[in-house]
Structure 1
Amino acid sequence: EGVWSCVAERGATLGRVGGARLALILPEATPGTTLQMAEAIVQRLREEVAALPTGAPPAARRVLVGAALFTGAQTAEELQIQAEAALRNAELSDNQPWHLFAATETVEPATLNESEQWKLLLRHALDSGEVVLAAQEVRALSSDDALHIELLARFQGTDGRLVPAGVLVPVAANLGLSAALDKLIVNALLEVVAQRPENFAVNLSAGSLEDRTFTDWLMERLRSLPLDQRSRLSFETSEYAALTHPSALRRLAEGVRKLDVRFGLDHCGAADVSLKPLQQAGIDYAKLCGGLIQGMDQNRDQRELVRSLVALGHGLDVLMVAEHIETESELEIARALGLDGAQGYYIGKPEPLTPVLDAPEPKAPTDMPEVV
């Protein structure tokens, strides 16, 4: 009933696959509406799960969503496989309980179902030391210039297929290899910033925050850089990491900021709409999660909530960025509400590094929509 209450008005078809596993078909879905629906379902079911008896097993309290978009090219079996792969990625993620299978993901889930296969894939990535970078712009809303380019790491499996770093992060955490994985990504970032003039950012895993060996290594690497390079760097981690490792995050954020390196949080508001981590961490920017952003052009209460969160962030001298911007209307509402930046498919999809950085100038903003 909890899931149905979220999708009944969208012409959805809902059925039980077995046990607590449900399957949902959502007509005319877009990446934006799919992620919005996933967040709504997670939130609704979390409320119901919270009412379970205290003796219920931990697994019974987990709410996960995996989704795939029908492109017209897949068979029904292939679409189901992609959704299963997305569910697996959500299960492995350390920062969000949902995952949308991306067109750029080519990992066949059937070859990666067993934990030993994931471990082998991680070992291969670490041994090869090769990182493939995709890039996605975070745009400033005051000028339409790029605030920075977020670099998204991919690793080649033994079969040559690209695996998103987010898939390997929880595996690395379980094996105590979070720092090794993040070192590869940071080294790739530093190579890029030495060659290009733009501002860049990468995400650090929660596991690396508590690793003093890693944080000491990172600080030493940053100190060795010329100021003109490190001042163009940003590191970010998830709100979930901030909630679970507050002292470690605050220590690292303070350290890198003393070196003129920025630090931010993403997926803010997904777990704590009060944005408590912003008040405790001492950060430069925060990205509001898609559940707060998508659809706000149609919902006055949602706009007021975002407006209040932006005011809270600005009161702490924190730049506020909107994630998952999917439409021009959402972009202009974000601008009107005072958000400082935006990221999402309307701004630009993750692409190989050079095409994103060499992209044409962004379109001039249209007239502001009225915000009430």
Structure 2
Amino acid sequence: MIKNNGQEWGGTRPLRVRVMASLAAAIVLSLAVSLGATAGAFHALENAVQDVGFGLRERNASGQIHIVEMDAASVAAINRWPWPRGHYARVVDQLDAAGVRSVAFDVDLSAPSRAVEDALLARSLERARAAIVLPVFSQSASFDNTRQMDTLPLEDFRKNVLLGSVSVLPDPDGLLRHAFFGTINDGAARASLAAQVAQHSGAAGTRFPIDFAIAPATIPRHSFIAIEQGKFDPEALRGKDVIIGATAIELGDRYAVPTHGIMPGVVVQALAAETLARGTPVSLGWLPAVLLAGLASCWILLARSGVQIGLRSVAVVAATLIAWHMASLYLVLTVMIVPAMLVVIAASVLRGAMLLHQVFEKNRMTDTETGLPNLRAMQARISTNTDMHLVAAMIDDFDSLKAVIEGDGIVTLLARIEDRLLASGVVAPIYRIDDRVLAWFTPLGYSAIGDQVKGLVAMMRSPLEVSGRRVDVRLAFGISEAFAVSGAVHAASVALRKGDPFAYHETAGKAALEQQISLMGELDAALDNDELHVLYQPKLDLVSDQITSAEALVRWQHPQRGYMNPDSFIPLAEEMDRIEGLTLFVLKRAIRDLGAWCDRGFIIQVAVNISARIISSPEFVGQVERLLQANGMPQGRLTFEITESATMRDPDSARAALLRFRQLGVNISMDDYGTGQSTLSYLRNFPLDELKIDRSFVQHAHRDSDDALMVRSTVGLAHGLGLKVVAEGVEDEACLAFLRAAGCDYAQGYHVGRPMPADELADTIAQKRVRAA
């Protein structure tokens, strides 16, 4: 394979550019995932991951909290329901005598029973030295009435006890994962039963995640009937916190929970109390993990191979899982990691797709026989070489050479020819655009190219060594403008037929040149005679829904040629140094119309396009300064729209000019953003007020996900830099609605309004204000 001048013909972007591109991609991915996380799209997956985490870090309960369970043995022994409350009284007496620290009931004591039984329990509660906690809860009034009714213990029971809420709220999937710090019951804030037992405080109405990593089987349990009959070791309960509740199936009170399936309510309360006893659970949500994953994704997006992608992805995922596990195990932190994992996965998939695309593009643009870039590759580079010339070298009698040279000899032949080209001073990548044609771009002028080609012809008189034989090769060269590839090949063919060393290709000839010169003379006359006119395309403020600004657009109705498309004379005016006069004409007309609108009571902004060729011109800057000072232009009424290329051609001069315009009260807008090479961090170095997203990204953004992502990310990043955002190319209501939702500031396009004369724009603004009123 031919090395092609030791260069990667496709070009390798500098590290800084690759880092910035990776950072931008990571930000976009993070924003996209964040939108999904905000919308709750990942809750089910997050719950599944958290459930797995509970199993991985399973641990024993503290032993401080005990359960006295109303189990099947107790139900059989008492043999009636509801239980006479004397049974509860005897259990409280037994526990109090054993020296427990607290006794909490997860049993409804709101309805009166036999008076003598209620009196027994009331006296037992009153004389207990241990802290007593009785349950309160809320429930719907009936199936078809969602009014909440508060349920409290009997008044006689409430005199000497604490009240603890046992209300719970399962998640939408039916599983109970959280408990309340407290609730509002009977018009008062009540700590939850778990908070009372754990002696923990928290705001009413807020919830905390229950730690289901605590193994329920390790919570000490005692049968209710055994406690009542004194058949237990008092020392085992001294100083402990006891929760009394039902575990027998026939008594109900069971909940579906993660990891453990169906669980009695009293066990859930005990786990909640165990959770709080360990410390206040802190939920960091998904944002911190997404931010860290976004940074890590930059590293993944910089990978240069599939192996690197795999290794870096595995490293990031492993580090994330370890940090998540350790935080949950030792720091009482809950972190949602699914969005972060999705950012990492998306970055890996994106980078993998990019590498596959690069391989595909390289194969598509590579000559399979020699490894040189092919015709497609050259055509792709024409736009970046418009100010250069093209040289095509055609091999004479190529078919005969192929017949004589066997095997890989033809590749060797082309490699020897390339060596001669490089030795003669060709420094650009060399393309194989046809079996017998090699070509390259050159910045040399026609005269210098001719001299170089003559040297090449002389060098090629020496035979080439190919596969052990000496081969005579004759080349003929065609020279053309960079865009005329077929013209260069044709010129080389003509030179070959005529026996000349090279030939030039003329694209348009003298007639086209004379026409251009004539048109520019007519433009000069039109400017002198005030024959051009300026139209204004309105911009809609998406917050106020009013037209608050417009873009000035020059139009030319030629007396003989008719309507002249701006593309037919503005680029030519730039090439032939007429653009400064044309720009000053538009600027003067815009200042005049701004004054007229002001007289009618309309205060709006006008944007004027400034060519990259004059942005740094001292003469133009001076003209603008004198013009603004002469007309007393108020601050912020005028905006200059510049292209990305204007700032990148000579950044220092452009920055100085833009700063001067800002000092004169002119706003600066970056036009056609997204079509060039600049990034927002690069643009931050310039005194910008506004970004204008190119219409190619806007007009289909409401139905194209890639365009939508570009618009949303640009809006977010621009707002982060304090810049307003204008979207041009809005042609229907759906697109306008999308831009509103995306947070764009201004919209411009035919749906908002076509370019119109100054008076018509004023009438349009007035009508819109009347409708709004």
TM-score by length of 1: 0.65
- Written as runs of structure 1 = structure 2, the 5 A alignment for 1:108-127 is 114-127=515-528
CA–CA distance in structure 2, aligned partners of residues 310 and 364 of structure 1: 29
Secondary structure of the 2:685 match is helix
- The residue that corresponds to 2:768 in the other structure is 361
Deviations 1:148-189 (A, max 9, x none): 111111234343834355533322222222222212111111
Match of 1:210 among 616, 632, 636: 616
CA–CA distance in structure 1, aligned partners of residues 532 and 682 of structure 2: 31
2:707 matches 1:302: yes
CA shift, 1:206, in A, is 1.7
Change (3 A) 1:130 1:190: farther
2:573 matches 1:195: no
Change (3 A) 1:263 1:167: farther
Secondary structure of the 1:235 match is strand
Secondary structure of the 1:264 match is strand
Q: Please, what is the CA RMSD of the aligned residues?
A: 3.2
CA–CA distance in structure 2, aligned partners of residues 263 and 358 of structure 1: 27
CA–CA distance in structure 2, aligned partners of residues 166 and 334 of structure 1: 28
Secondary structure of the 1:154 match is strand
Which structure is higher in RCO with an 8 Å CA cutoff and minimum separation 6?
A: 1
Secondary structure of the 1:143 match is coil
- The residue that corresponds to 2:684 in the other structure is 279
What amino acid does structure 2 have at the position aligned with 1:116? I
Does structure 1 retain, via aligned residues, the 8 Å contact 2:539–2:549? Answer: yes
- The residue that corresponds to 1:223 in the other structure is 629
Change (3 A) 1:218 1:48: same
2:575 matches 1:151: no
- The residue that corresponds to 1:269 in the other structure is 674
Does structure 2 retain, via aligned residues, the 8 Å contact 1:179–1:208? Answer: yes
- The residue that corresponds to 2:647 in the other structure is 242
Change (3 A) 1:252 1:48: same
Does structure 2 retain, via aligned residues, the 8 Å contact 1:209–1:249? Answer: yes
Does structure 2 retain, via aligned residues, the 8 Å contact 1:278–1:313? Answer: no
- The residue that corresponds to 1:318 in the other structure is 723
Secondary structure of the 2:593 match is helix
2:743 matches 1:338: yes
Change (3 A) 1:159 1:270: same
What amino acid does structure 1 have at the position aligned with 2:646? A
- The residue that corresponds to 1:132 in the other structure is 533
Deviations 1:17-41 (A, max 9, x none): xxxxxxxxxxxxxxxxxxxxxxxxx
Change (3 A) 1:48 1:273: farther
Secondary structure of the 1:190 match is helix
Q: Which moved more, 1:185-194 or 1:316-325?
A: 185-194
CA–CA distance in structure 2, aligned partners of residues 119 and 316 of structure 1: 41
- The residue that corresponds to 1:55 in the other structure is 440
Change (3 A) 1:363 1:302: farther
CA–CA distance in structure 2, aligned partners of residues 144 and 111 of structure 1: 48
2:566 matches 1:161: no
Deviations 1:293-322 (A, max 9, x none): 121111233322221111221122110111
- The residue that corresponds to 1:172 in the other structure is 573
Q: Which runs of 5+ in 1 are unaligned?
A: 1-44, 62-109, 366-372
Match of 1:328 among 723, 730, 733: 733
- The residue that corresponds to 2:753 in the other structure is 348
What amino acid does structure 2 have at the position aligned with 1:124? A
CA shift, 1:276, in A, is 5.8
Change (3 A) 1:167 1:245: farther
CA shift, 1:269, in A, is 0.5
CA–CA distance in structure 2, aligned partners of residues 300 and 174 of structure 1: 38
Q: Which runs of 5+ in 2 are unaligned?
A: 1-375, 383-429, 432-438, 442-480, 486-510, 599-603
Does structure 2 retain, via aligned residues, the 8 Å contact 1:125–1:156? Answer: no
CA–CA distance in structure 1, aligned partners of residues 754 and 660 of structure 2: 32
- The residue that corresponds to 1:254 in the other structure is 659
Does structure 1 retain, via aligned residues, the 8 Å contact 2:597–2:762? Answer: no
Change (3 A) 1:268 1:296: same
Secondary structure of the 2:589 match is helix
- The residue that corresponds to 2:201 in the other structure is none
CA shift, 1:341, in A, is 0.6
Deviations 1:223-255 (A, max 9, x none): 333353x53111112223233243333222211
CA–CA distance in structure 1, aligned partners of residues 731 and 771 of structure 2: 17
CA–CA distance in structure 2, aligned partners of residues 364 and 348 of structure 1: 16
CA shift, 1:287, in A, is 0.7
CA shift, 1:200, in A, is 1.5
CA shift, 1:208, in A, is 1.6
What amino acid does structure 1 have at the position aligned with 2:440? G
- The residue that corresponds to 2:75 in the other structure is none
TM-score by length of 2: 0.33
CA–CA distance in structure 1, aligned partners of residues 523 and 513 of structure 2: 11
Does structure 2 retain, via aligned residues, the 8 Å contact 1:238–1:265? Answer: yes
User: May I ask how many residue pairs the two structures share in their alignment?
Assistant: 273
CA–CA distance in structure 2, aligned partners of residues 262 and 319 of structure 1: 11
CA–CA distance in structure 2, aligned partners of residues 172 and 331 of structure 1: 34
CA–CA distance in structure 2, aligned partners of residues 264 and 329 of structure 1: 26
CA–CA distance in structure 1, aligned partners of residues 551 and 695 of structure 2: 17
- The residue that corresponds to 1:74 in the other structure is none
CA–CA distance in structure 2, aligned partners of residues 214 and 326 of structure 1: 35
Does structure 2 retain, via aligned residues, the 8 Å contact 1:140–1:147? Answer: yes
CA–CA distance in structure 2, aligned partners of residues 161 and 249 of structure 1: 36
CA shift, 1:330, in A, is 0.8
CA–CA distance in structure 2, aligned partners of residues 331 and 116 of structure 1: 43
CA–CA distance in structure 1, aligned partners of residues 597 and 706 of structure 2: 42
Does structure 2 retain, via aligned residues, the 8 Å contact 1:131–1:155? Answer: yes
What amino acid does structure 1 have at the position aligned with 2:673? C
CA–CA distance in structure 1, aligned partners of residues 593 and 763 of structure 2: 14
Change (3 A) 1:131 1:332: same
Does structure 1 retain, via aligned residues, the 8 Å contact 2:701–2:707? Answer: yes
Does structure 1 retain, via aligned residues, the 8 Å contact 2:727–2:748? Answer: yes
Change (3 A) 1:184 1:211: same
Secondary structure of the 1:224 match is helix
Deviations 1:35-80 (A, max 9, x none): xxxxxxxxxx89961398371452158xxxxxxxxxxxxxxxxxxx
Does structure 1 retain, via aligned residues, the 8 Å contact 2:730–2:748? Answer: yes
CA–CA distance in structure 2, aligned partners of residues 299 and 155 of structure 1: 36
CA–CA distance in structure 2, aligned partners of residues 292 and 141 of structure 1: 18
Change (3 A) 1:172 1:48: closer
